[in-house]
Every structure is written in structure tokens, then in C-alpha cells.
A and B are shown apart, each in its own frame.
Chain A
Amino acid sequence: GAVVSQHPSRVICKSGTSVKIECRSLDFQATTMFWYRQFPKKSLMLMATSNEGSKATYEQGVEKDKFLINHASLTLSTLTVTSAHPEDSSFYICSASIVASGDNEQFFGPGTRLTVL
């Protein structure tokens, strides 16, 4: 149980285009989802926390107009990278948490490799 999927697994796009990444909890309802960015050989950097039906909470230094997060249902959150540039190339990972479990365990998606040319 507690499987999280991400789509696409990798995407290559041209500079200036927008890219949408989907994160789905397949067999549970995720009241909270997290979006991370991971640079090569680095740790995970939390970008934002989203709760179903409300606006995402962005970490300091993360541009909310550039990284649009929507958590429309208890099983789906999307991250849209708008007007992508080469510096946005990275590995993006989502995770989901079940608030009712009370133990803060996060279930991670497999990640999306974004390459902006």
C-alpha cells in the first residue's frame, strides 16, 4: 500500500515553455503533499507544502508564480514549471502524507527528471 506515482518520469522541453508534473497517491488519500527539488549529489530541498483544497505554502526563496502547485483532490497534486529555463533543470520529487496516521511518514514518488534546453 501507500504508493505514489509521478508522471512523466522524464521530460525534455525548450526554454520558455511550461511543463506540468503530476503526483498521484494510488491507494490512499493524501491530505498533504510535498514537492521537493534535488540537485545532483545533493539533498532534497523542500519547495512547497500543499493541502487539498487550499493554497500551497511555499518555502522561502521559491517563486510561487514560477512553480504553480495545485492540489485539487485528495489523490492528485500538480506542479507546473512556467516559462522554464535551463536553470530549472533538476530532479523533482513529490511525496504524500496521511495526516490521520500521526507519524509524519512521507511516501515518495519516483521523481521526474526535467531537462530544459
Chain B
Amino acid sequence: AQSVTQLDSQVPVFEEAPVELRCNYSSSVSVYLFWYVQYPNQGLQLLLKYLSGSTLVKGINGFEAEFNKSQTSFHLRKPSVHISDTAEYFCAVSDGPGGFKTIFGAGTRLFVKA
């Protein structure tokens, strides 16, 4: 069975500092991995996804993530955050072609301070 663990429930960081949001997963099969962002009272927006190929994935808004199969991790990084990056970030995993169930982590609240 799949599971996703987001190791930090909250991450406070100062503006222009780098940030890493951690995500570990478990799955018995090949996985597709995703990071989504949710702003208050809104739905989720895809930041980036890993399906196959290069383990370093670049997404929108300057975010990137690295797939590490040996450590079963998919950590999200940004070299310099902005106040507008304050939001909830969800890591997710699924194991099949389109339409299969996706499991979401508990979320990490990124709070960017001036």
C-alpha cells in the first residue's frame, strides 16, 4: 500500500532564504510523484510532477524537486522564497496511468516572513 509522509507540518522561513519541504513515500511499485500548492480557501494547483526520466524536476514559481529512489524521497526546494509563497504544500503519490487513486501527504504549511 502506498503512503506519503511529509516530515514537517510547518516551516517558517524568512523572505529570500532557501527552503526545503521534505516528503518520503512508500510504495511497492513504480510511482508517479507530485507536489501541489494550496492557497487559502482555494483548490490545489500542480507545482511539478515526476513520472520518469531525469530525477531533478523543475516546476512553476521557481520550485524544483529531486526524486531519490534509494531514499524514497521527493523533497521540494526553492533557492529564494517570496512572501507570496506562503501556502500549504502537499506531496502526493500514485502508481498507475491516469485515473488511478492518488494519496496525499498531510501537508506542510510554508510561512514566509518579511
Chain A interface (Cβ < 8 Å from any Cβ of B) = 4, 6, 31-32, 34, 41-44, 46, 49, 51, 91, 93, 95, 97-111, 113
Contacts and interface: CB of A to CB of B under 8 A. Distances in A.
Interface residues of B, number: 25
A111 B106 CA distance: 18
A46 B102 CA distance: 9
Given A101-B98, A102-B98, A107-B46, 19 more contacts: A4-B43, A6-B43, A31-B99, A32-B99, A34-B102, A43-B90, A43-B104, A43-B107, A44-B104, A46-B101, A95-B44, A98-B98, A99-B98, A99-B99, A104-B34, A104-B97, A108-B36, A108-B45, A110-B43
A98 B105 CA distance: 22
Contacts of B97: 99, 102-104
B42 A44 contact: no
B32 interface: yes
A48 B30 CA distance: 23
B13 interface: no
Nearest to A4: B43
B98 to A, nearest CB: 4
B46 A104 contact: no
A91 B44 CA distance: 12
Nearest to B43: A108
A43 B43 contact: no
A49 B101 contact: yes
Contacts of B101: 46, 49
A51 B43 contact: no
Contacts of B105: 43
A31 B36 CA distance: 21
A106 B106 contact: no
B41 A113 contact: yes
A46 B44 CA distance: 14
Contacts of B102: 34, 46, 104, 106
B99 A42 contact: no
A97 B99 contact: yes
Given A44-B104, A49-B101, A103 B51 contact: yes
Contact of A104 (B36, B44, B96): B96
